Amino acid sequence: MEDWSELRLQDRIAPGLRVLFVGINPGVRSAITGHHFAGFSNRFWKLLVESKLVPEPITCEDDDRLPEWGLGITNLIARPSPGISGLRSVEYAAGWKILQSKIAAFRPRIVALVGVTLYRAILPLLDSTPGAARGAVRRSAVLDSVLGLQPHIIHGARLFVLPNPSGRNANFSYAEMLDAFRALERYARA
């Protein structure tokens, strides 16, 4: 398919989720297939299975089943792209407003941001978010401890940061990614 730029993925969200996963934006393969995290080298689905966030092996083609297990998935920016370098700050801000309304409407317990880059991009927007609260943590301390549970609460949902599972992510080993997904599973179960 040549013109994937106008394609949009369907959110997989239901009320009262344990975890709502949020990606930055769909990649080209995800846009073409219509499934989240569909890139050949993306390890999202393998990490979900190995961390026991889902009870059985699944792939991107099973993304519509996530709500069965109290999980959901969406993106901050709906527009697909081959990478994030072409995304504009105005798209992040507009996407954050839409995401806030999804969080308010569906009330997940945890919002899991899939990627440190995503967290850093929205961090300046968190302070002006209606319905958001933040613990007494210095901003520099927040940026130093980017993975895991964060001090932010958005419309009652705790914020959790995961590494980006893309095969292009050289900042974290697979073992570190799996540790983060397992930490999320433990927190979601508690």
Domain boundary assignment for the chain? 19-189
Query: Could you give the CA distance from residue 77 to residue 99 in angstroms, rounded to a whole number?
Result: 9
Dump pLDDT digits (tens) for 39-52.
Answer: 888 999 999 999 99
Burial class (CB within 10 angstroms; exposed 0-12, middle 13-18, buried 19+) of 51: buried
Tokens 């969080």 belong to residue:
103
CATH of domain 19-189: 3.40.470.10
Dump pLDDT digits (tens) for 34-85.
Answer: 999 998 889 999 999 999 999 999 999 999 999 999 999 999 999 988 878 7
- Residue 112 phi, psi (nearest 5): -100, 110
pTM for this entry = 0.89
